Amino acid sequence: MPQILAFATNENTEGAVQSFTVTPDGVLSEAVETVSSGGDTPAFAVGLSTGQVAVTNYASANGRIIPTTDTPLDFDDAAGIIPFPVPNGGASNPHMALEYGRGDTVWRLKEIGSPGNWSIVGSITQPTGSGPRHIAVEGDLLFTLHETTSTLTVQKIPSLSTKTAALLANVFIVPPDSPVNASFAAAELLIPKISAKFSVQYIYVSNRNMGEVDERGDTIAIFRYVEGKLELVSQVYTGLDQIQYLIAGGVAGDGSIAVFRRVDEGRSLEEVARNTDLPFRVSFVWL
């Protein structure tokens, strides 16, 4: 059976990326190797098809794309650091990297020459003050979830020489009957592929309420993109406080982690498991 690999970040000021192996029965090894993320508070790391690992540093406006060496578990620490421009009077908090052949910009990177040498070659401007947090690509469409404005947008991906792309759709994701003093910040975005069981593609986004708590918990909003419009299908209350992840996991309160399955052909969610042993989970890996 092929070896299962996992990569994780040390989300602290020193910032690091670590490699692990996972046994077929789900046992995680100790860290095989650790390498600097090149910055402060790396919130995201992902393995790429090239064997490299991308990491973004939320608090220092930079990132690295780190090659592996003789094995996919060993890092080449010669990789450069990629700085992201900070807007005047604002902040740059890179939160995700997506492989595709709050600064309000999606930066586009390209490998220049040797592995580990990446540079910014373009960008796709986002609405002012929206705070793009997570993205997904479907065909030639870019779906962006904006943390600050709690919105979901769709754009057609432009050529590298073009920085602007019209919004094909732009919707507010917050449930309509929230507490008066609720304060929302969009968190996660998931767009599963079409399958024999789920013939219609739906978009799942999490609402993170950091204000007055709703006793029903935060919601996962389900949308469908059809004929150039984003249509709300349902709002599923999870019983979790401040959802930041899909499975989903709450980073406040005592809801901890809940696992949901898609029902009604993907139009809704049904809880299948919940764990409250530890109050806060940072991330999840599907094996």
For the stretch 162-191, pLDDT in tens is 999 999 999 999 999 888 898 998 988 999
Backbone angles phi, psi at 266, to 5 degrees: 100, -5
Q: What is the pLDDT of residue 42?
A: 93
Pairing of strands 141-146, 151-156: antiparallel
Across 127-142, average pLDDT: 92
| Residues in the chain, overall count | 287
Across 15-42, average pLDDT: 92
Q: What is the pLDDT of residue 18?
A: 96
Across 79-86, average pLDDT: 93
User: What residues have CB less than 8 Å from 34, skipping those under 6 apart?
Assistant: 10, 16, 17, 18
Q: What is the pLDDT of residue 60?
A: 95
Mean pLDDT, the chain, rounded, equals: 87
Residues 233-279: pLDDT tens digits?
999 988 776 555 455 554 445 556 778 888 899 999 888 888 777 65
Q: What is the pTM of this model?
A: 0.75
Contact by Cβ (8 Å): 253, 242: yes
Across 87-95, average pLDDT: 84
Residue of higher predicted confidence among 2 and 226 = 226
- Nearest Cα neighbor of 5 from 37, 57, 35, 46 is 46
Is the pLDDT at 285 greater than 70? The verdict is: no
Q: What is the pLDDT of residue 229?
A: 97
- Nearest Cα neighbor of 237 from 256, 254, 252, 222 is 222
Q: What contacts 24+ positions apart, CB below 8 Å, involve 105-114?
A: 105/132, 106/132, 106/135, 106/142, 106/144, 108/160, 109/65, 109/82, 111/50, 111/65
Question: Confidence band (pLDDT; 50, 70, 90) for 37?
Answer: very high
Question: Confidence band (pLDDT; 50, 70, 90) for 287?
Answer: low
Residues 41-71: pLDDT tens digits?
998 899 998 899 999 999 999 999 999 998 8
Burial of 274: CB neighbours in 10 Å, binned 0-12, 13-18, 19+: middle
Q: What is the pLDDT of residue 79?
A: 94
* Rounded distance between C-alpha atoms, residue 166 and residue 17, angstroms: 36
Burial of 232: CB neighbours in 10 Å, binned 0-12, 13-18, 19+: middle
Contact by Cβ (8 Å): 239, 254: no
